[in-house]
Structure 1
Amino acid sequence: MYLPREQFITLIGVKSKKIKPSDEMAAPQRMLDHLRRQSSSQLKAYCGYYYEYYYAMTEPGCILCSLVQIREEGQHFVYERNERIQIGGAEGTFERYRYVGVSYYLQDRLFLLDYESLTSNEISQTILIPNYKSRIIRLNGLKMGVSAADHRTPACSRVVWEYLGREINRVNAYRKVRLYRMDDPSIDEDLRGRLAQTKIVDGLFGIA
């Protein structure tokens, strides 16, 4: 009984349990790793910065412009999305949101899944249709999430990503991140037309 632990285990013949490599990886990790292996390397062509436009889920009738960066990190493609929303009645004051997530290129669609990193109280998904032209300009798709307001309404909106390049002046680009009215001259006719078919339904996912 007074032998060192290792000698005592050897003496009584207890065999230590060997952990298989597959057991060390938790189920969510295995799922994400599976998606990573299935994802096409074509996603590399979409790395860089984008403006993301979609109907604001908290401000009906407004379009929200956010700044997104997709980058390769190790064996994964990750991205960061930054939003800021003007606070009514407080000139120059904004609420800021930062989302981080992973992206995959599966069967000719770009899938992006993220969460709000400051509060960790929501998850959103974006599905984009790739651009098959030699130059990436704008990508169309759908965004699904919930309103940041107290009622937390599930919502779905058409979304447009505008490619900015692999290297940008982030300070200058961030100045455009805000809410815009539909008739704001900063929202051009092409962008307005791409978003025009959106219909947001309280409590449901709705696309007109």
Structure 2
Amino acid sequence: MTEPHLARNLRALCNYTTSISDACRSMGINRQQFTKYLNGASRPSPRNMRRICDHFGVEEDELLVPHGRFAEMVALRPRARRLIRALGPAAPQIDRMFNQSADSLKPYCGYYFYYYHTPSRPGMIRRSLLRISEYKGIFYTRLNERIQPEESPLGRSHFVRYIGVAVFLDGRIFIIDHNARDLRSLSQTVLFTTQTGEIEVLTGMTLGVQGRTARAPFAARVFLEYLGPRTDTRAAMRRTGIFGAEGADPPRHVSRMLASNGTEPQMLTALELPV
């Protein structure tokens, strides 16, 4: 007798196929034998179990969980499979990037003040709060920006959150994120990593789109001040916003970098050509 939930979970997976016969041909499993699995009369051999898992994109232990929980899990899988198909041959390469960067990114988990010259207020510096965290081998980012009353059309302070993922490739940290609320654009940040082993300041470049109506692309240098693996987030958020060069009051080394406008431009903005 097979496990109580296996047959029912297999039948649920078959609802996502064009036909059971097609699935059997793809897996290389005899249709009559697979029917026994669906009826609970037989348990797949280890080899056939692997074929089933590979075909449907599940793990063996997932196939054995109670059916209600399994149904919730697989309901999300078709979208993931469509994304994997869209990535095509890039999918395994991207997966390898995440796996290979795991150990290198762990020391960079924690909180940072994120500084850059904002394109919406020329000459002003925006300070935001960035967190890099890890969950099941994937590194996620969360960037919180405080919009002050003078920036808001409604004249009141509020927060904007950007969420994304980070990978470590060839001595650089790559972050791709998006506005968690409106999904109107993607942003990318590339950071130089520390050479000394002690994280204090990270520098790099961000590429994004202005939040104003014009939605103009821009690129700006960024400077990250490491706050530690933990911090008082409420106190840190109170220090975020847009400031003049003096009002931001960053550490001296960050202040020097932010003020170095001389030979190297801090920001590039795109101009839309008239039609």
- TM-score, reference length from structure 1: 0.81
Asked if 1:59 is matched to 2:65, the reply is no
Report % sequence identity. Answer: 29
Residues in 1 aligned to 2:171 and 2:229: alpha-carbon distance in whole angstroms = 22
Change (3 A) 1:187 1:164: closer
Q: CA deviation at 1:189?
A: 4.2
Higher relative contact order (CA 8 A, sep 6+): 1
Q: Does the Cα contact within 8 Å between 1:40 and 1:106 map onto a contact in 2?
A: no
1:16 alignment partner in structure 2: 22
What is the correspondence of 1:164-179 to structure 2 with a 5 Å cutoff? 164-179=227-242
1:124-146 CA distances to partner (integer Å, 9 max, x unpaired)? 11111111223211011111101
1:49 alignment partner in structure 2: 111
Higher strand share: 1
SS where residue 182 of structure 1 aligns?
coil
Q: Does the Cα contact within 8 Å between 1:142 and 1:158 map onto a contact in 2?
A: yes
2:16 alignment partner in structure 1: none
SS where residue 192 of structure 1 aligns?
helix
Moved segments of 4+, more than 4 Å: none
Change (3 A) 1:17 1:80: same
- TM-score, reference length from structure 2: 0.63
Q: CA deviation at 1:59?
A: 1.4
Residues in 2 aligned to 1:187 and 1:49: alpha-carbon distance in whole angstroms = 15
Change (3 A) 1:199 1:144: same
Asked if 1:150 is matched to 2:213, the reply is yes
Aligned partner (choices 105, 124, 149) of residue 87 of structure 1 = 149
Residues in 2 aligned to 1:151 and 1:89: alpha-carbon distance in whole angstroms = 15
Asked if 1:105 is matched to 2:163, the reply is no
Residues in 2 aligned to 1:22 and 1:151: alpha-carbon distance in whole angstroms = 46
Q: Does the Cα contact within 8 Å between 1:71 and 1:77 map onto a contact in 2?
A: yes
Change (3 A) 1:104 1:188: same
Residues in 1 aligned to 2:114 and 2:242: alpha-carbon distance in whole angstroms = 12
Q: CA deviation at 1:60?
A: 1.1
Change (3 A) 1:74 1:15: same
Aligned partner (choices 181, 191, 194) of residue 254 of structure 2 = 191
> Quick one: which amino acid aligns to residue 149 of structure 2?
I
> Quick one: which amino acid aligns to residue 200 of structure 1?
M
Asked if 1:181 is matched to 2:248, the reply is no
> Quick one: which amino acid aligns to residue 145 of structure 2?
E
Higher helix share: 2
Residues in 2 aligned to 1:118 and 1:89: alpha-carbon distance in whole angstroms = 18
Q: Which runs of 5+ in 2 are unaligned?
A: 1-19, 28-53, 58-80
Q: Does the Cα contact within 8 Å between 1:57 and 1:148 map onto a contact in 2?
A: no
Asked if 1:201 is matched to 2:207, the reply is no
1:36 alignment partner in structure 2: 98
> Quick one: which amino acid aligns to residue 23 of structure 2?
K
Q: Does the Cα contact within 8 Å between 1:57 and 1:147 map onto a contact in 2?
A: yes
